[in-house]
Every structure is written in structure tokens, then in C-alpha cells.
Structure 1
């Protein structure tokens, strides 16, 4: 399968010169950054922080959670609008249960932060997250919307723990002058994960969608010339009515299958995150008696 990225309105394959050049440039600047940080008297990112197991695992988890969670915010609205035929407004509002679930997860994670270890809480997080993502991967054109809502609450609840736990775990037992660096590094890696996640998984879904369209229209007259534009525009109510039912049905099934397959592929980094959690150790927030009385 040949994956591709769209740059400047043009589509380039992964093995094309512009894409290889971008990867090569990234590698060069990445190495240069590390060399500069090692030699700097006051580095932006003290690399010795990664020698601390809890700090290192927290950064890996932020990266993986960010790279997978962003997929939900992108593809669930597209699924609702393209497969269910909802409006752009409804597609945006559909994420509300997931966001409420994340608020609940973040709050519960913060409440129990002093009761048990970061690892135990993150185990609850990854179980909920993985189950929710798996169920989202089973969606079909016939799945009831209330089931989609439950799946979103489940996945949002799991991700919510990471919002309160991972920044705190990053700063655990660090000197005051390093806590700001630790917190900002955690936020940066979550954002970096989102950037890579939406790029990689966006390319995967786009290619899966194209392949399934070709398969669906294989053998039909003119199928080789069939072109598909932006589904977020084509699947508007005004445009759906112009598409013949038998063609619309094939497009909807292709879109549904490509998105759900993409959700299932995110279980790979989620599985890596599950393994990473077990290396967090038994560290937990300890509140002194003096602080408790205060």
C-alpha cells in the first residue's frame, strides 16, 4: 500500500523526493538539537531528566496519548456527517460526550492522585481508553448513535486521566527550577504526538478510503474514472441528494470502513502505551501531615 501526503495542494507518495527530503531534514535538525542541548550550559531541555524513569515514561505516554486522541476529534465528526448524514453543526456537537468523559476522568484522576500510584491510575486509564477505541473500531453504518455516545464517553474517560496525571508525574520530586521545564516538555510532546498522529493516520485513512472506493466500484462502467473530493463537503445534505442511492451507499460503506479501520490501527500505539505504564514504578504523590492539616 502506497501512503501519501498532501503538500501545497499536491499529493506526494511517502517514497517521493519531497517527503524523503522532509524526513532527512527532520533527522538532521533533530540530531543538531540534541548536540546543542548536550553542550549548552543552560539547555532548553535538560536531557538528564530522561534518566528519571517516571519522567521518561510520562513523556512517552503523553506523546502516544496525544497521537491517538487527536484521531477521534478529527474522524468522529467526519463519520457522523458522512455516514450518518448529520449536519456540520451536529458533527461538532457529537464530541460533547467524549469531552465530558475526559473531564470526569481528569477529575477522578486528580482526586485519587494521593491515594494510589500513578501507575495504578494509568492502568485504569489505558483499559478504558483501549476498550473505547476498540468499540469505536466496530462501528458500522447501522450502529445506533446512542452506542457511539457510550463509546465516546468510555474513550474520553480513559484519556481524561492523562490530563491530570502525566503533567504531575513529569514534575514528581523534581527541583523547583526544573518543574516548569518538565511541564512544558510534557505539553510539547503531547502536541507533537497530535501533529504526527493526524498526519500519519490521516494519510492511512485517506488511502484506505481510496482503496475501498476502488474495490466498491470495481467492474462498474466508468469506475476507473471515479474521483472523490473532500467527504466533508460532498456529504452535506444538499450534495447527498444529488448522488444516486446505489452509489451513495457504496461511498458511505467505504468511508465507514476506512475510519473504523483507522481506529483499530490506533490500538498499536495504545498497546505500546500499556507496556510503558508498567515501567512507571510505584511512585505516588505523598502529602505530608503538615500540608494535610494546612
Structure 2
């Protein structure tokens, strides 16, 4: 199979021949990015309308789950049938899920519709990156991926704000309906302007492998997301879920070894560039979810800032990332993918160190600075590793390796959320179990979930019923919990550097050719 896209190298700008396609790809990316953040501020309105407060975390979990497990499948299908039909299916599934979410009449229905959205997002995210790899040369891709990263950065700021505006002044249902015109424009532009020639041959789809991968990874991710929340880690339910997931993944490996055209070929794990880049993506996913989760918690719960200030603090991460990704192309064209990623890894470690030394007396500008440095480091790491992955294989394998890299990043986010949550909750539980004698356990939160109520004065007897001593102690306990979470992210940052060191030096070649290992 072969295809030719973007044959005329006419520049990267939006006025170029490839410009409308890039704009459509950015718009598709924006759909997924906005939907990842816009619902966060709308949760109170959704729960107030539909009920089901105890179920609302599934609005996020099910979306992440269905998106993660479908990514490798779409990558293989894109290599077999071409990028265009897979992208159209993803857009259609995402928009269908959006319509159904907008008319949902109960929380279980809304959760089911979010799963449909996740199935669509699982196609949009990797195929967007794969199309960039098809359209642009090696030296152009970092700048273009910087554009895509900037979409996530803008969405991180605009999404929560837009969700709050819709919820307060219109209806939370419009956070889903807004996807329809955006998706329609993106699909129409791609249909008219994205051209690819696919030489179809005789292919055998690995259906058994796809089923085993989806079911096995779904069980493992489900166990990680809900372990310690819906059930204890050592409960029979938890053990059964992990055992079932592990058994299916073992069966998946055995099936892939015999499959004529495996859905996730095992050679991906034998190539040093791919192995190092995928392990780095695993760490990047963990680090991103860690900072996204705990920087706002630290800023509001420990430093006492408002939600808006906390959001803008985290936005520093989203600003540094696309800026660094855009300039990384000039760097790796001179010194190669691995060395550029190593520089990014070192910067990431420096930023993680700054996060780890934050305390109760720190200033908000110090938090923003740490996030900015981490964002720069991740931008210098993620973009070169992704371009390296795409550059060491031909078109017929580019979809698989791109989807595999993004699959590892999704798994990293899932595992990171579970591990960091366990570290944070264990720290809080330990502190609450050993309070100072002057406070006593009766005045402390009865569960870790009630920590925020005490800090806002709503616990221990209602507004005004929380003594300053209790608030100070709980704030200190939360600081310890976040500190341990930040220490964990520092360890992950160091491991990212180790993963990059596994990669051989690869020269970035000009044109649309592939990179080559330096011997």
C-alpha cells in the first residue's frame, strides 16, 4: 500500500495549499481538547439537572477509557484503508455522541453517550498526528505539531471558562451542541482538500487481536481508575478485574505472534527508537495528568487562591509546551531527535524539582514558573520523540506507530491518575489518623473527600464551624499530600530521561523521507 500526500512543498502557513487541511486538523484536535476540559466546570449544573452525584466521575473515566483502548485499532485501520475514512468515522462518532450527550435525560445515559464520544476521539487524536506526518516533511513537523499543541493550550484556558458561561447563562447541554458546527466545518474541509491515493491490496483484519486488546486494556484501565475509589485495591472485585485483564493481554500477545497482519505488531517493541519514545510517552502522560490534577489543588487548597488564578497558573504549562514544540524542529535538525529530547528531559526534571520544593509559604508566581519550565521541557521532549517515531518507518506503518505512541501516553495518564491519587490519599489518611492532641480526630474530615469542605469552612458544623487550628492542620496535610505527588512526578521526569537514553541517535533528514540511525 502506498499513498502520496502534500507533494507540493508550498510552505506551512494557513494560506498555503496545505493550509486549509492543517486548519481542519487543528479544528478536529480542538474538538477533542475542548471536550476534555469544558465539562469540568459544568459538573454542578449537570448533577443539579440529572442527579447522580456519585456517578459523575464516570463522565471523565469512561471517555478516557474508550479513547485509550481504541487508539491502536484506528492506527492499524488507517494504514490499511487510509487516513481519510478513519478520520471521517471518528468525527461522525464524536458528533453523534455529542448530540446524544446534549439530549441525555439521566446520568447513566449521559455516561453511555460520553463513551461514544470517546470512541470518536480515539480516532481523531492519532489520525490527526498521522496526517501531519504524511503532509509535512521532517523539518516541518515540529512547527506544525507546535500548532496542534497550542490548540490544547488554548483549550486548557478557554474550555473551563466556556463551560462555566454555558452552564450559567444558557444550558450545560450547549457544551456538547457547540461541537456540531465545528465538526461539520472540519469534515467538509477535509473532504474537499485532503487528497490521498491508497493502493489497496489483500488485507486480513486481526479481529481477534482487536477484541482481546480492547477487552484486556479496558479491564486493566478500569481497575486502575476505580481501584481504591469504587472498591478497595485488595478486594475480590479488584483482583478479578486485574486477573481477567492480564489474562486477556497475555492471550493478545500470543495471538499477535501468529497473526498475518496484527493490530499491534510486536516489532514495535523491538525497535529501539519506538521503545524509547513509547516509554517516554508513558511518562509524559503521567506527568501531564499529575500537574493538571494537583497544581490547581495546591494553588487553591494550600495557597488559598481562587479557581481562576489556579487555572491561569496551570495555563503556564500549556503556554510553554507549544512554544518549545514549535522551535524544537530547528534544534533536532541540527543535533538529532535523541539529543533534543534529552535537553527537554533535563528541563523537565528542573521544572519538576521546582514543583517538589514548593511549600505553604511559596508564591503563586513560583508555581507558574515551575509549570512554565515543565511545559518547555515537555515540548522539547514530546515533539522530537513523536517525529522520530514517524520518521523511522514508511507510510504503511506510520499510523500504527503514531497510534501506539499516543496509546502509551493515554495509559500513562490513566496509571498516573491512579498512582498519584493513591499517594495523595494515603498521605492525607495518615495525617488525619495522627492529629495533634490539641485538635482531636472528631474535628477532622471523616473522609479524604471532605478535605475541601473543611478548607472552605463548610465542614465540622457548617460555615464558621471550622476552627483556625483545624483549617491550618488540614491545609498542612494537603500540602504534604501534594508534595508527595510532586515528588512522584519528579521520579517520573527522571524516568523520561532514562527512556530517551534508550533511543539511538537518529539523524533528521530533510524532505519527506525517513530518518536514519547514526552508526
Give the TM-score taking structure 2 as reference length.
0.51
Equivalent in the alignment of 1:235: 455
Secondary structure at 1:286 match in 2? coil
Q: Report if aligned partners of 2:457, 2:464 keep a CA contact under 8 Å in 1.
A: yes
Question: 1:190 deviation in Å?
Answer: 0.3
Secondary structure at 1:95 match in 2? helix
- In structure 2, which of residues 492, 515, 519 is the aligned counterpart of residue 269 of structure 1? 492
Equivalent in the alignment of 2:324: 105
Q: Report if aligned partners of 2:286, 2:415 keep a CA contact under 8 Å in 1.
A: yes
Residues paired across the two proteins, number = 286
Equivalent in the alignment of 1:22: 241
- Answering whether residue 444 of structure 2 is matched by residue 219 of structure 1, we say no
- In structure 2, which of residues 274, 278, 282 is the aligned counterpart of residue 59 of structure 1? 278
| d(CA) in 2 for partners of 1:236, 1:74 | 19
- In structure 1, which of residues 110, 118, 130 is the aligned counterpart of residue 349 of structure 2? 130
Equivalent in the alignment of 1:120: 339
Equivalent in the alignment of 1:168: 387
> For 1:112-147, what per-residue CA distance to the aligned partner results, in whole angstroms no more than 9, with x for missing partners?
231111111111111111111111111111101111
> For 1:42-78, what per-residue CA distance to the aligned partner results, in whole angstroms no more than 9, with x for missing partners?
1111111222111111111101111122100000001
Equivalent in the alignment of 1:246: 469
> For 1:80-102, what per-residue CA distance to the aligned partner results, in whole angstroms no more than 9, with x for missing partners?
11112222333222211111011
Structure 1, 267-276 or 97-106: larger mean CA deviation: 267-276
| d(CA) in 2 for partners of 1:289, 1:41 | 28
- Answering whether residue 368 of structure 2 is matched by residue 149 of structure 1, we say yes
Matches within 5 A, 1:69-108: 69-108=288-327
RMSD: 2.6
| d(CA) in 1 for partners of 2:478, 2:352 | 18
Task: Sort the Cα spacing of 1:284 and 1:14 in 2 relative to 1 into closer, same or farther, 3 A.
Answer: same
| d(CA) in 1 for partners of 2:320, 2:438 | 45
Equivalent in the alignment of 1:257: 480
Question: 1:233 deviation in Å?
Answer: 4.9
Q: Report if aligned partners of 2:317, 2:372 keep a CA contact under 8 Å in 1.
A: yes
Q: Report if aligned partners of 2:353, 2:490 keep a CA contact under 8 Å in 1.
A: yes
Q: Report if aligned partners of 2:348, 2:375 keep a CA contact under 8 Å in 1.
A: yes
Give the TM-score taking structure 1 as reference length.
0.88
| d(CA) in 1 for partners of 2:512, 2:410 | 37
CA radius of gyration, larger in: 2
Question: 1:220 deviation in Å?
Answer: 4.3
Task: Sort the Cα spacing of 1:5 and 1:165 in 2 relative to 1 into closer, same or farther, 3 A.
Answer: closer
Question: 1:237 deviation in Å?
Answer: 7.1
Q: Report if aligned partners of 1:170, 1:182 keep a CA contact under 8 Å in 2.
A: yes
Task: Sort the Cα spacing of 1:195 and 1:72 in 2 relative to 1 into closer, same or farther, 3 A.
Answer: same
Question: 1:12 deviation in Å?
Answer: 3.7
Q: Report if aligned partners of 2:338, 2:384 keep a CA contact under 8 Å in 1.
A: no
Q: Report if aligned partners of 2:454, 2:471 keep a CA contact under 8 Å in 1.
A: no
Secondary structure at 1:115 match in 2? helix
Larger RCO (alpha carbons 8 Å, 6+ apart): 1
| d(CA) in 2 for partners of 1:14, 1:97 | 35
- Answering whether residue 429 of structure 2 is matched by residue 210 of structure 1, we say yes
Task: Sort the Cα spacing of 1:166 and 1:241 in 2 relative to 1 into closer, same or farther, 3 A.
Answer: farther
Structure 2 unmatched ranges of 5 or more: 1-222, 514-519
Q: Report if aligned partners of 1:85, 1:236 keep a CA contact under 8 Å in 2.
A: no
Q: Report if aligned partners of 2:303, 2:360 keep a CA contact under 8 Å in 1.
A: yes
